[in-house]
Amino acid sequence: MESKKALPILFATMFLVMVGFGIIIPVMPFYAEEIGASPTQLGLLMAVYSVMQLIFAPMWGRISDRIGRKPIIMIGIFGLALSFFLTAIATSLSMLFIARVVGGFFSSANMPTVMAYVADITTDEDRGKGMGLIGASVGLGFIFGPAIGGIFSQSSLSTPFYLAGFSSLITFFLVLFVLQESMTPEQRNNQSRKRLPLRDAMKGPVSILFFLQLFVSLSLSGLEATFAYFAYAKAGLGSVELGYIFMIMGFAGALVQGGLVGRLTKKYGEGPVIQIGIAISALGFFLILFINSFTTAAIFLTIFGIGNGFIRPSVSSLLTKKAKTGYGSTTGLLSSFDSLGRIIGPPLGGIFFSIAVGLPYIFGIILSAFAFLLYVVYKSKAKEAEPGLS
């Protein structure tokens, strides 16, 4: 399928998936509490979703290399819809945990397979643009989803889950009837014949990029888990102001990923864009330490969000160009490292915040510096492995 036709469909697909996911974000804590979950159990409910993604994203990526992208995207979206409906009818904590496990298991198929699809249909020079568009669709979905969930939760706490389920079903039929398969039968056969163990994706300089993404994910999730407390302590900001701040940051990040990333990677390559993104993120972390009002919080967090928006699509693009395994295996493993960061980051951020309110962001600066150094090491080792690499 031509990229000009497929990319808008993939954009719409991931946007609708993330709207469905975002709808439940403001509701889940109250819904779980109503069923009888303690704060600890709520934390486990949120964590089990990421744990399932950590474990199963590489599996789905590898399967998509063998049987094609479209079936796996459809399975992932249908399973996600099922999990939302299960959550809506849950009457006990055990049912809620089952729904979250089902959701994490199936949703782990979506992002790596969509990214692999983008890698299938784009040339090397346009890869960054394609990955950026998917990143933008995810960001926009996270902006609109929570707002919709908050509005519809006023009638009943279960309503947003039904809404998320129907949103996922609409997406399922969009993929079923409109999206074409990106891999030919010959390509799938070739992938099956040259199938390598997953550990081969971690061999050589390219393995460094997975750890770079882990550090970026760690710093981001640590910020997300603590910023509400920090903003209240430093500037007295409440939930309404924070909603607007994250919306502004989300729009800025989506604009960067949807337009600027593609142009910059095409002109300069992924490496410089990754380094620019890490540097801007580190600056954002530093500036966040000095917020004292709604305006400074919005500006400084947006600077961080812009920097972060440069990194993930550029890393995804570079990995699919350099990895020796299939695109699905590569993007699945990347999603797994991303999930690992999202599992470890929030409790780590909470621990640092309890020691000193600004410590999570100082730690973010340190992690950014490590990520920057990791890219320098990657570039050096890649030059040794591939003479002539710029």
Query: Are the CB atoms for 104 and 50 separated by under 8 Å?
Result: yes
User: Tell me, what's the pLDDT at 196?
Assistant: 56
Please report, for the chain, the start and end positions of each structural domain, with discontinuous segments joined by +: 1-195, 200-383
Number of residues written out for the chain: 390
Digitized pLDDT (tens) for each residue of the chain, 390 residues in all: 556 788 999 999 999 888 888 888 778 888 888 888 887 888 788 889 889 999 999 999 999 998 999 999 999 999 999 999 999 999 999 999 999 999 999 999 999 999 999 999 999 889 999 999 999 999 898 888 888 888 888 888 899 999 999 999 999 999 999 999 988 777 666 665 555 566 666 778 889 999 999 999 999 999 988 998 899 999 999 878 888 898 899 899 999 999 899 999 999 999 999 999 999 999 999 999 999 999 999 999 999 999 999 999 999 999 998 877 788 889 999 999 999 998 999 889 989 999 999 999 999 999 999 999 999 999 999 887 665 444
Residue in the block written with tokens 């989506």? 254
DSSP states along 206-275: THHHHHHHHHHHHHHHHHHHHHHHHHHHHH---HHHHHHHHHHHHHHHHHIIIIIHHHHHHHH-HHHHHH
What residues have CB less than 8 Å from 314, skipping those under 6 apart?
A: 128, 131, 261, 265, 270, 273, 274, 277
Residue in the block written with tokens 């009002």? 293
CA distances from 379 to 17, 128, 264, 300, 390 (A): 35, 18, 18, 30, 8
User: Tell me, what's the pLDDT at 192?
Assistant: 55
For residue 151, report the phi and psi dihedrals to the nearest 5 degrees. Answer: -65, -50
Query: Are the CB atoms for 51 and 343 separated by under 8 Å?
Result: yes
Q: Do domains 1-195 and 200-383 have the same CATH topology?
A: yes
Q: What is the pTM of this model?
A: 0.88
Closest CA to 310 of 146, 136, 114, 103: 136
User: Tell me, what's the pLDDT at 388?
Assistant: 46
Helices 294-322/127-152 angle, 10° precision = 140
CA 378 centroid distance within chain? 23
CATH number of 200-383: 1.20.1250.20
Q: Report the alpha-carbon distance of residue 176 to residue 168 in Å, rounded.
A: 12
User: Tell me, what's the pLDDT at 390?
Assistant: 42
Query: Are the CB atoms for 375 and 273 separated by under 8 Å?
Result: no
Q: Any idea which architecture 1-195 has in CATH?
A: Up-down Bundle (1.20)
For residue 143, the tally of other CB atoms under 10 A from its CB is 20
Paired tokens of 121: 């249909």
Q: Report the alpha-carbon distance of residue 284 to residue 292 in Å, rounded.
A: 15
Q: Report the alpha-carbon distance of residue 144 to residue 163 in Å, rounded.
A: 13
User: Tell me, what's the pLDDT at 193?
Assistant: 53
Helices (H), the chain: 3-23, 28-35, 39-67, 69-88, 93-107, 110-121, 127-152, 159-178, 185-193, 207-235, 239-255, 261-268, 270-288, 294-322, 327-355, 359-385
Q: Report the alpha-carbon distance of residue 113 to residue 72 in Å, rounded.
A: 7
